[in-house]
Structure 1
Amino acid sequence: MKYLIAIDPGTDDTAFGVVVPDLPGCFSAGDTVEEAIDNAHEAAKLWLETVIDDGGTVPSASPFSALQIKDDYKGWIWAVINVDLSDYPTKQSAY
């Protein structure tokens, strides 16, 4: 499953913060953009694994056009992560 991630550029004194908008509460950070993306991937895998283990539904990915217009992410960097869910039996949501 491919999910968009939003990366807060940070400053000289702060790390790059990153969120997975389609996975509520899923966030991470990194000292570089690359590290932030890698950490977001790990956070998303753990988030999804927890939802699946608890019998929940895996959220569908939103289209970029729906996320890029949100004020919360103005000026942020966008990237895509791919989380392989083939090892987990899942129920995917319809939204």
Structure 2
Amino acid sequence: MRYPVVVHNIEYAGFGAIAPDLPHCHCHADTLDATLQKMAETILQRLEELRAAGETPPPPGQVDTLRTNPAFAGGIWAIIDVAHAQSASSPKTER
């Protein structure tokens, strides 16, 4: 699965990321690269939590649709491929 993620630069505090399709799935780190790596780990952890609770993970949304939400204005969009996130490959970034 490929989950869209929006990353915002937080002035003087690094970067914050949210996976809009996964409730309670967000993270923070000092650099963009570290934030994307941490977000991949956070998504995997959240999916494991959902499965352990017997819930079906929600399907990934479409970036074009998610971009219309004003809460995500000014963010950098990335796609986290959870099938490959464990292989330590870098997430792909869309601009």
Which residue does the alignment assign to 1:93? none
Question: 1:84, CA displacement in angstroms?
Answer: 2.2
Gaps of 5+ in 2: 85-95
Identity of aligned residues (%): 29
The whole-number CA distance in structure 2 between the counterparts of 1:71 and 1:25 is: 19
Give 1:54 shift: 1.1
AA aligned to 1:33 is L
Unaligned runs of 5+ residues in structure 1 are: 86-95
Aligned to 1:71: 70
**Greater Rg over alpha carbons, structure:** 1
Kindly state the Cα deviation for residue 9 of structure 1 after the two structures are TM-superposed. Answer: 1.3
- What residue is the counterpart of 1:82 in the other structure? 81
Point out the structure with the larger strand share: 2
- TM-score, structure 2 length as denominator? 0.84
Taking structure 1 as the reference length, the TM-score comes to 0.84
Report what 2:10 is aligned to. 10
Q: Deviations over 1:20-76 (max 9, x none)?
A: 000011000111111010011011000000101111011101111110010000001
1:33 corresponds in structure 2 to 32
Q: Return the alpha-carbon distance in structure 2 between the equivalents of residues 31 and 63 of structure 1.
A: 27
Give me the CA root mean square deviation: 1.2
Match status 1:23 vs 2:28 = no
The 3-state SS of whatever aligns with 2:28 is: strand
Aligned-partner SS, 2:40: helix
Structure 2 CA distance for aligned equivalents of residues 65 and 43 of structure 1:
23
- Identify the range of structure 1 (76-85 vs 64-73) with the bigger mean alpha-carbon deviation: 76-85
